[in-house]
């Protein structure tokens, strides 16, 4: 088996001594900065996910600091457009039918929102529901009877909306999204729907062999084996149709990104601030009260915890499969690897 991040080979210890020392120094700086930043890291509670929120101070939003969210948004759009120009030049392909059924329609403010699971969708759906209905709810379970999907309209109505409405999407760092999907669908088991995932994807256990004892999960009279994070990641890394699901499929497979002329690309990591800026840009006035506030301050570093136990070659494979998402939405796989490395070193320092 390939070495995982947490297994630094003993034999090369001497050779790496100085490198290690350098990294320790760097990570100490990082750690101190992280401790400092922690005061500014807030979490907001969605129905089933804790969304980390990088708080951006008001002065940042007003543009007096180097990179305001406004500039950040301009950069995201430029990166995205550049990606599509390079990868899909002169495409006149129509928006896929599958994508059309993922767009939530807000006719009152003329907005289309392409719904990507595990990006803070509960929060986002509530914002659009509240906008459409003039309400202020955060607790309604929003199913298809509460929301209008673009696929419910006639072909002409669909075309007109795609051409004239404001198009909004929320994306998230791919590794963080995968960790969040696994945690939510395979670990935080509440209700029958969660058991559906465990039952439906039992075959993911094939990827880790039979030597794993496998903790049993009992639901009513049935036993299923718990699906470890490693099995989940390996299954995704194998890129097989039977293990695909919108909760972890790349955004480029869900929202035909290059076929849509987006007006705003939000990141889960800055969702609250993105909503404030989006409202401003979309001319939505006097409804800021429905934008969620930062509520809890719960540290959810699960993605680092989870991925540090995954063999590097599997992580690299995930990086390849989600490369488009990384590149078109302004995330960096290398940065994710660096963060993992720093986390591993921090843990090692902590252990010694």
CA distance 274 to 109: 17
Structure tokens at 69: 């969210």
Rounded to the nearest angstrom, the gap between the alpha carbon of residue 282 and the centroid of all alpha carbons in its chain is 24
Nearest approach in angstroms of CB 351 to ligand NAG is 36
CA distance 7 to 308: 10
Nearest approach in angstroms of CB 214 to ligand NAG is 28
In the block, residue with structure tokens 């990166």:
79
Strands 111-114 and 148-149, bridge-based pairing: unpaired
The CB density around residue 345, as the number of other CB atoms within 10 Å, is 20
User: Which uninterrupted H or E stretch holds 98?
Assistant: helix 97-100
The CB density around residue 126, as the number of other CB atoms within 10 Å, is 22
Q: Which of 4/130 has CB closer to ligand NAG?
A: 130
Q: How far apart are the first and last CA of the chain?
A: 26
Nearest approach in angstroms of CB 261 to ligand NAG is 20
214: left (phi over 0), alpha (psi -120 to 50) or beta: left
State whether residue 306 is helix, strand or coil.
Answer: helix
Closest residue to ligand NAG: CB criterion: 136
Q: Which of 39/289 has CB closer to ligand NAG?
A: 289
Q: Which of 237/340 has CB closer to ligand NAG?
A: 237
Q: Which of 97/332 has CB closer to ligand NAG?
A: 97
Nearest approach in angstroms of CB 151 to ligand NAG is 8
Q: Which of 24/321 has CB closer to ligand NAG?
A: 321
Nearest approach in angstroms of CB 155 to ligand NAG is 5
Q: Which of 308/312 has CB closer to ligand NAG?
A: 312
CA distance 35 to 15: 31
Contact set with ligand NAG (CB under 6 A): 97, 136, 155, 239, 241, 289, 320-321
Nearest approach in angstroms of CB 288 to ligand NAG is 10
């Amino acid at each position: 088996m390939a070495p995982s991040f947490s297994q630094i080979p003993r034999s090369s210890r001497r050779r790496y001594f100085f490198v290690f020392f350098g990294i320790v120094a760097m990570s100490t700086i990082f750690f101190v900065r992280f401790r400092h930043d922690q005061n500014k890291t807030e979490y907001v509670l969605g129905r089933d996910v804790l969304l980390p929120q990088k708080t951006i101070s008001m002065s940042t939003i007003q543009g007096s600091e180097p990179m305001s969210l406004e500039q950040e948004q301009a950069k995201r759009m430029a990166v995205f457009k550049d990606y599509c120009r390079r990868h899909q030049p002169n495409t006149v392909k129509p928006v896929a039918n599958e994508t059309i059924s993922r767009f939530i329609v807000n006719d009152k403010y003329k907005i289309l929102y392409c719904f990507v699971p595990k990006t803070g969708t509960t929060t986002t759906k509530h914002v659009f529901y509240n906008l459409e209905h003039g309400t202020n709810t955060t607790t309604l379970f929003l199913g298809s009877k509460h929301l209008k999907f673009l696929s419910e309209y006639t072909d002409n109505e669909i075309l007109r909306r795609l051409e004239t409405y404001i198009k909004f999407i929320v994306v998230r760092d791919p590794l963080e999204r995968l960790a969040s999907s696994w945690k939510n669908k395979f670990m935080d088991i509440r209700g029958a729907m969660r058991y559906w995932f465990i039952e439906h994807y039992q075959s993911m256990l094939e990827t880790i062999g039979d030597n794993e004892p496998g903790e049993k999960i009992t639901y009513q009279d049935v036993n299923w084996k718990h699906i470890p994070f490693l099995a989940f990641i390996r299954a995704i890394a194998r890129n097989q149709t039977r293990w695909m699901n919108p909760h972890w499929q790349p955004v480029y497979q869900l929202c035909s990104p290059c076929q849509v002329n987006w007006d705003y690309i939000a990141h889960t990591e800055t969702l609250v601030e993105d909503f404030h800026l989006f409202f401003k840009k979309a001319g939505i006035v006097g409804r800021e009260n429905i934008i969620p506030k930062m509520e809890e301050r719960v540290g959810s570093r699960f993605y680092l915890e989870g991925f540090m136990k995954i063999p590097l070659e599997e992580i690299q494979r995930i990086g390849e499969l989600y490369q488009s998402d990384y590149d078109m939405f302004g995330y960096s796989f290398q940065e994710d690897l660096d963060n993992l490395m720093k986390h591993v070193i921090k843990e090692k320092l902590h252990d010694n």
